Structure 1
């Protein structure tokens, strides 16, 4: 029954009415025609930051980067992006986020799926890493960050994929003294240092990491905090650290910051990425719900640049304008 329902959701056309709450129409996917994705924008780097620390700058990241909404899958409402990870990287995305699942077929291969592999299978971890390696080899002055939600595959399967693709050799490894939550913002190397050592890939696991065994797969919450996600309304975006939890909710730890900025719509109680509103969600303006406003608010609270903004449908709106604004000033 669950598999049938998930299959229906994957191929359901985008013809839903807008959600109405308290007499106010809320953003939802309500178009009657196929989407018309904008061409991806381009990142404009700030040269002075090349000699600054990795932790001192802002990068755009893609939420569920491998979950694609394309003509080939009927513009599946489970998709979070219109363009694959190779296009994302060439355009300027510098963080790729995905969920790692055990292979339903029973192999040791890790599948990158959206919530459930019956709902959206974005391919294997090895395929994903191959695309990242191709980009890094073609762009020797770039640094890329990977963030994986680990839903259960054992650490050795993650490590095997990095070994098979050779990305273990390009991965950044913190010193032993900086593990276990001891690494602060000032401890990160500069981008120039990472380039000169060819340690240009930083990878975080949400759970299951053991840096004594696999030192390049970093325990996410020892190195960064992140804001709330699961946002259904444009006025719900926050800058406060939500994970990990601190005894003082107003405390801003001296760690990397991940700001979640993506919006959901709902249909019959099911939540799915809101593509119709994405041009506004990812806008560089300063209205409530826009990325520009959220970015400015977080920068003010943190008293430094937020490090990562995680977005859906990165090609919509003006995400690279927001990144440049954060980095240029």
Structure 2
């Protein structure tokens, strides 16, 4: 048995060595050796809003986000290493997550339906875009004072398929659309509306698309890097969490007056393949000020940006103390 596994691993490593760029993604399912056979995930905590921020701009506060939010590890999939979270999007939103990040792929069967997969649909299919949007719509309908942000990674589907899902679920009507003179990189942090304004106009969903957006055709799908910057996201060691802008490439060396997305999730690796590090999540998502903890990273970024970081993107949001970090950022 072990000899067979060893031989399979050896063959796979030989094949992987022929690829110039090592994939950033989970192990293939047949290599899904668990770092924790029975993880016993903590029950999610809850968000405590800061009332004063209800009258502040959307761009003036910090929100916890879930990385690959639809890629869920469960006992049913044997706690697959392809999963980045333990609880589904409905639970994430009810707990207090307000920034949902997910990848959209073409349907492997050739249908027009966008599939929300992690890295590859054969490894982890988290359902359709319609299903994700329906979950968000239900939450917004039930919570009329809440704002949700979607960060959608486009791995191929055409813009019209993205737009269709919004039209079908009615979220196009609830989506925030910037003024025409604030598109194409002209939107500064001071140009965003307050939460009160977004609630009163019922424009309570902000949606970003990393590639393929065209706001002249679909004005509610905002081109990500016209509005925000991101920190680096390939982190293999707790000492590597950075606050410096990494994307888009043309803003290296300064902090632009845009929204900020701080990537704070740690990878483990096996034979050169990266996968979400669940074993260390309680520390990675900790509210303390030690190296590698979310609290330390958030404070450091706030100091560099001279304003609150807007989105703190994490794996396994229920582990650690992510909502304590969010509250700390917003209360002071």
Question: Structure 2: 5+ residue runs without aligned partners?
Answer: 1-10, 17-24
2:127 aligned with 1:123: yes
- In 2, Cα distance between equivalents of 1:105 and 1:230: 31
The alpha carbon displacement at 1:12 in A equals: 4.9
The alpha carbon displacement at 1:119 in A equals: 1.1
2:229 partner SS: strand
Indicate the residue corresponding to 1:19 in structure 2. none
2:176 partner SS: coil
> Cα deviation per residue 1:263-295 (whole Å; 9 max; x = unaligned)?
000112211000000000000000000000000
Indicate the residue corresponding to 1:69 in structure 2. 73
Given that residues 12 and 77 in structure 1 are in contact (C-alpha distance below 8 angstroms), is that contact kept between their aligned partners in structure 2? Answer: no
The alpha carbon displacement at 1:230 in A equals: 1.1
The alpha carbon displacement at 1:10 in A equals: 2.5
* Cα RMSD for the two superposed structures: 1.7
- Alpha-carbon spacing, 1:227–1:257, altered in 2? closer, same or farther (3 Å): same
- In 1, Cα distance between equivalents of 2:235 and 2:130: 31
- In 2, Cα distance between equivalents of 1:246 and 1:104: 34
Indicate the residue corresponding to 1:267 in structure 2. 270
- In 1, Cα distance between equivalents of 2:236 and 2:64: 21
1:72 partner SS: coil
Q: Pick from 35, 38, 57: which aligns with 2:61?
A: 57
- In 2, Cα distance between equivalents of 1:133 and 1:73: 27
* TM-score, length basis structure 1: 0.92
The alpha carbon displacement at 1:7 in A equals: 11
Indicate the residue corresponding to 1:182 in structure 2. 186
2:272 aligned with 1:253: no
Q: How does 1:1-329 map to 2 (within 5 A)?
A: 9-10=28-29, 12=31, 14-15=33-34, 29=35, 31=36, 33-246=37-250, 249-329=252-332
Question: Structure 1: 5+ residue runs without aligned partners?
Answer: 16-28
- In 2, Cα distance between equivalents of 1:11 and 1:67: 17
Q: How many residues align?
A: 311
The alpha carbon displacement at 1:250 in A equals: 2.8
> Cα deviation per residue 1:238-271 (whole Å; 9 max; x = unaligned)?
0000111236x33100000000000000112211
